Structure 1
Amino acid sequence: MRLHWLLGLSLCVGGCASLTKDLHDTTPEDEEVPTEETVYLVPLDEALFTMRRVFEEQRYDVFERADHHELYTSAHEPGMNLPGNRTYERYFVKGASLGPRQSVIRVFRLSYREQDTNIEVKPKWLNERIQDEEKYLSRKTFERFTFDGVPDMEGFKMVRGTRDLPLERKLLARLEMVPSLELVGGRTNAPVRAVQVEGWDDDTAQPPPVKCGEPLQGVEPLLTAGHTVLVGDPLGTRELPEIATRMLCDAVEKKLSVALALSMPSEDQGALDEYLASAGHGPDLERLLVVSSFWRRVYQDGRSSGALLRLIEQARRLRAQGNAVTVLAFDSNSASGNAREAEMAKNLIAYRQANPDTWLLALAGDVHVRTKPVSWNKDFEPLGWRLTKALPASPVKALEVGFTRGSQFSCRFNVWEQVDCNVFALSPTAELRQEPGTPRKVALFDRPSDTGFHGRLWVGALNASPPVIQRTPPPVAQQQQDGGTKPAEAEH
């Protein structure tokens, strides 16, 4: 009986899964191994289809195991091996559905060796070495997994399945690090009937109090008369409007005149002014939603969330207490690209020139608020860059948002290239990742970044805030049959 003495062999009997570092992994050494599975807020078939695309872009053939929510790829030979001692690898994907829009995707790299390289009799010292390694791997494994039913390769035996975290990070980026769509224009047919907004106070006995929220560290240097503060994504969450409310409270406490600029069509300014002057009761709210078609669009993005409406209400309450507070609608209702940036800038510049001492807080998308040109389009001039050039005597500061993974209501293109407006998970890039449990705060930079930001606003874990008025969309299959209904303009 032959013995094959293989020094440093790492053998996993029975096909169990472990976590090891891929030779091609570019992940920083200090990045922690996950301790729990990532649950994607998309249907399982969409998550699997996205994973298939990742493989196909790397020129793998992808096969599906019917009725098992499993994918496996064609095999490849890493490096060059001598005949009789060859190793092949392929990828295996196991999907699991936890709900209609909740899915888990596990990606494994399977290693196969030629049959005659298997150890038939292992010496005692090698047995001990394998046992020690298995104990080590068990400490790093957050999901033990057996590969029953995985297709074999003729003449080869599978010796290990390695959880491939780099590929799972690519999937995470495809599903959760994508820009939101801002849907400009489009039809409005959602009816308004007896609107009820979560957390809304309709007490006619006495004026309701302002809910300023928890303190925001580091905001003091930004609270100066005549300054403009631009805050980028993510809209469609509770956290950004809550922090904006806190900033408004801090500003009026310093006796500043305050303007809150929102990415709403400028033609809705009259409806906003009417609501700000009202008592904020149910009929006042209903009239705002009826007069302004912005809240009743067929496709609604994060700009018309319930949290944004509550922010407007908090501004109304501050104003009702005698503070100099106004809300400004500065967006376009139909323009796109540079024309939209120009129209937004025109509206804010006109307001600033008429109110040079007002402290102005504007909420808009990440790309809009940048105070430098973007690198990917030399002709595109963001709103923030236009303001900086047009208002040299009025300081303009832009903040990018750092956060902990959470959820957001937004509109995106799904894998079938249809607009899908729903609650999605949102993950930050490594640079914008906030440690769980750390406080909300503003951290200013020593100098503006290359992308035109002057600091970072840390907001914590995100929670989605859906639109005030929602319609039930048709199933995706029906959208495909109908060819899909697209909004007038979709911008990132």
Structure 2
Amino acid sequence: KIAGYWHRYMVIGKRETPTKSKLWIIRITKTVNKALAQPGRQMDWGIGRGLGGRPGDRDSGAPGDASSTASGAYGVSIEDDEDRLAFPVGENAFYVDSGQGTRDLTMEWRVFRGIMPKLAKKQAVSAEQQVAKAPGAKEAPAFTECGPSILGLKKQAKTGGVMLLGEMHGTQEVPRFIAQSVCQLVTSGMPVTVGLELPVENEERVTTFLQSPGGEVDWLKLMEAPFWRSPYPDGRGSEAVANMLEQLRQLRAQGLDVAVFVYDHPKLSGQKREDALTQTVLAQVKVAPQRFHLVVSGNVHPRTAKGLPWDKQYRPMGYLLKDQLDDVTALDMAYDSGTAWICAADQQGRKLDCGVKEAKGKDNGDRFFVHTWASANQDGYHGVFYVGHVTASEPAIRKGLGNPDAAPAQEPASAP
């Protein structure tokens, strides 16, 4: 209490990213003398000060005096009752009248100067200890912005573990989820290897690109592969995937321990393809058992349960990996309704029709998260990874080189 006024501080904090927050300190001033009361609060709209009863009894007796009336209430006026209720009770009391709140910038600055040196010192020590530095890198950043924390991700990421993500191809959000996941894991000390469902013939191109400066020539070498120029682009060669490769390249260029491999065998089909996918992924995991492997594919391959509706003996990649590795987690994609670049058979069933199509999902908010169940479901999934509202991502080749910074492809000029 200062000079007849009570001051109470309300502190509001808002977390915007894992490394950035806002703090507001509001000073609320209260007093019983109504000096700051809003206009009109003191007006008496009644013909008398009493609260009711017979006219002869309304103003008799003292406030609260039971001898004046049968109930003791007729002698209490509205103003008297307000004064009684307005008197502060306890340190957290708020008063009926008279209150103003204003942002206390001086107090905010004092708090900032008081806590920042300690936070900076703590962050520098933990960052130096936790960041996964790439082999051969001279240095790694003590801090990298990785976007809002993905809830439940780090709990599932373990050394030697394999997380299989079953996606719907052709969205912007899944590649963004992957890049964000990798960033958050490597900056917390976990070396990560990403497995992409791209043809194994592209292994050298992808590896070379990740180790390059990311210039125009580097993009040309990556994008000249037939995979990116397929007449039936199914979403795996989307602009969002190209953006993801660029983001992973930038993380590696900073000295963080990020690796990528590809494992698809498009010339095979059915069970033979599943067997080949399994052997390629298994070889990568066994070569680097100290790393966490994040393997992305369509949502049939990651299933850890035997059988499909059309083939009860079918053994997906996830089912085969589960028998040979100790830690395999399969997550199905969950999303809010939107659009996706999808290739599906046309109405006649004669050829593939690729384009932007509606995708029906369920709204669980905007924030990415990972959620696991107590046991796997009938499809062999242990949980879901949620990416929010989905938006279609067109083939990267439509953006020229596929470089996120490249200008859109120009239409050829017509002959005069």
In 1, are the aligned partners of 2:366 and 2:389 still within 8 Å (CA)?
A: no
CA distance in 1, matches of 2:144, 2:222: 20
Q: TM-score, normalised by structure 2?
A: 0.59
1:462-473 aligned at under 5 Å gives the runs 462-470=390-398
Q: Secondary structure at the match of 2:236?
A: helix
Contact 2:275 2:317 in 1 (8 A): yes
Corresponding residue of 1:324: 257
What aligned pairs does 1:436-447 form with structure 2 within 5 A after superposition?
437-447=365-375
Q: Is the 8 A contact 1:211 1:314 kept in 2?
A: no
List per-residue Cα deviations over 1:436-472 (Å, max 9, x = no partner).
x44221111111112111111111110000111149x
Partner in structure 1 of residue 186 of structure 2: 252
**Residue deviations 1:219-239, cap 9 Å, x none?**
121121111111112121000
Post-superposition offset of 1:333: 2.9
For the pair 1:460 / 2:388, whether they are aligned, the reply is yes
Encode CA deviations 1:257-298: one digit per residue, 9 max, x unaligned. Answer: 2111000011211111110110011221111111x2211111
Preserved CA contact (<8 Å) 2:366 2:387: no
Whether the aligned pair in 1 keeps the contact of 2:370 and 2:384 (CA below 8 Å) is yes
1:305/1:337 CA distance change after superposition, 3 Å? same
Q: Is residue 272 from structure 1 mapped to residue 211 from structure 2 by the alignment?
A: no
| Counterpart for residue 379 of structure 2 | 451
Instruction: Judge conservation of contact 1:434–1:458 (CA < 8 Å) in 2.
Output: no
The Cα offsets for residues 356-385 of structure 1, whole Å up to 9 and x where unpaired, read as 111000110111111111342122111111
Matched residues in 2 for 1:222 and 1:311: separation? 22
**Aligned amino acid, residue 248 of structure 1:** V
Please point out which of 298, 313, 320 is paired with 1:365. 298
Q: How many angstroms does 1:213 deviate by?
A: 3.5
Determine which of 227, 231, 242 is the counterpart of 1:298.
231
State the shift of 1:210 in Å: 7.3
**SS of the counterpart of 1:370?**
coil
Asked whether the 8 Å contact 2:144–2:187 carries over to 1, the reply is no
Distance 1:210 1:364, change over 3 A: farther
- In structure 2, the partner of 1:351 is 284
Other-structure match for 2:215: 281
Cα separation, 1, equivalents of 2:276 and 2:308: 22
Where do 1:365-384 residues align within 5 Å? Answer: 365-376=298-309, 377-384=311-318
Q: Which contiguous aligned blocks of 4+ residues in structure 1 show a shift greater than 6 angstroms?
A: none
Structure 1 counterpart SS, 2:260: strand
The CA deviation string for residues 170-196 of structure 1, in whole angstroms up to 9 with x for no partner, is xxxxxxxxxxxxxxxxxxxxxxxxxxx
Q: What does residue range 383-402 of structure 1 map to in structure 2 within 5 Å? A: 383-391=317-325, 393=326, 395-402=327-334
- Aligned pairs (5 A) from 1:55-204: none
Let me know the Cα RMSD of the aligned residues: 1.9
1:334–1:280 distance in 2 versus 1, CA, 3 Å? same
Give the secondary structure class of the aligned counterpart of 1:295.
helix
Task: Tell me the SS of whatever aligns to 1:364.
Answer: strand
Give, in whole Å, the separation in 2 of the partners of 1:409 and 1:363: 17
- Classify 1:211/1:237 alpha carbon distance in 2 versus 1 (closer, same or farther; 3 Å): farther
Secondary structure of the equivalent of 1:384? Answer: helix
Higher-Rg member (1/2): 2
1:225/1:358 contact within 8 Å kept: yes
Contact 2:234–2:354 under 8 Å retained in 1: yes
* 1:212/1:295 CA distance change after superposition, 3 Å: farther
Residue 353 and residue 338 in structure 1: after superposition, are their counterparts in 2 closer, same or farther (change >3 A)? same
Cα offset, 1:215, TM superposition: 2.3
CA distance in 2, matches of 1:328, 1:301: 19
1:74-100 Cα distance to aligned partner (Å, 9 max, x none) = xxxxxxxxxxxxxxxxxxxxxxxxxxx
Q: Which residue of 1 aligns with 2:246?
A: 313
CA contact (8 A) 1:305 1:467 kept: yes
Aligned equivalent of 2:341, options 397, 402, 409: 409
Secondary structure of the corresponding residue to residue 314 of structure 1: helix
Structure 1: distance between partners of 2:357 and 2:287: 40
Alpha carbons 1:213, 1:245 under 8 Å: kept = no
Distance in structure 2 (CA, Å) of the matches to 1:210 and 1:255: 12
* CA distance, structure 2, for counterparts of residue 399 and residue 365 of structure 1: 11
Matched, 1:434 2:363: yes
Q: Are 1:210 and 1:314, in contact at CA under 8 Å, matched by a contact in 2?
A: no
Instruction: Report the counterpart of residue 422 of structure 1 in structure 2.
Output: 355
Q: Is the 8 A contact 1:210 1:317 kept in 2?
A: no
User: What one-letter code is carried by the residue in structure 1 that aligns with 2:363?
Assistant: Q
The 3-state SS of whatever aligns with 2:298 is coil
State whether residues 265 and 331 of structure 1, in contact with CA within 8 Å, keep that contact through their aligned partners in structure 2.
Answer: yes
**How far apart are the structure 2 equivalents of 1:463 and 1:388?**
32
The 3-state SS of whatever aligns with 1:230 is strand
Does the Cα contact within 8 Å between 1:371 and 1:452 map onto a contact in 2?
yes
Structure 1 segments unaligned to the other structure (5+ residues) = 1-206, 472-492
The 1-side partners of 2:259 and 2:317 are apart by: 21
Q: CA deviation at 1:401?
A: 1.2
TM normalised by structure 1 equals 0.50
Paired residues in the alignment total 256
Deviations 1:401-446 (A, max 9, x none): 1111100001001212231011111113xxxx234x4422111111
SS in 2 for 1:310: helix
Q: SS of 1:304's equivalent?
A: coil
Q: Residue in 1 aligned with 2:32? A: none
CA contact under 8 A between 1:302 and 1:410: conserved in structure 2? yes
Judge conservation of contact 1:407–1:425 (CA < 8 Å) in 2. Answer: yes
Structure-1 separation of matches of 2:145 and 2:264: 27
The answer to whether the Cα contact below 8 Å between 1:448 and 1:454 also exists between their aligned partners in 2 is: yes
Once residues 245 and 398 of structure 2 are traced to their aligned partners in structure 1, the CA distance between those partners, rounded to angstroms, is 19
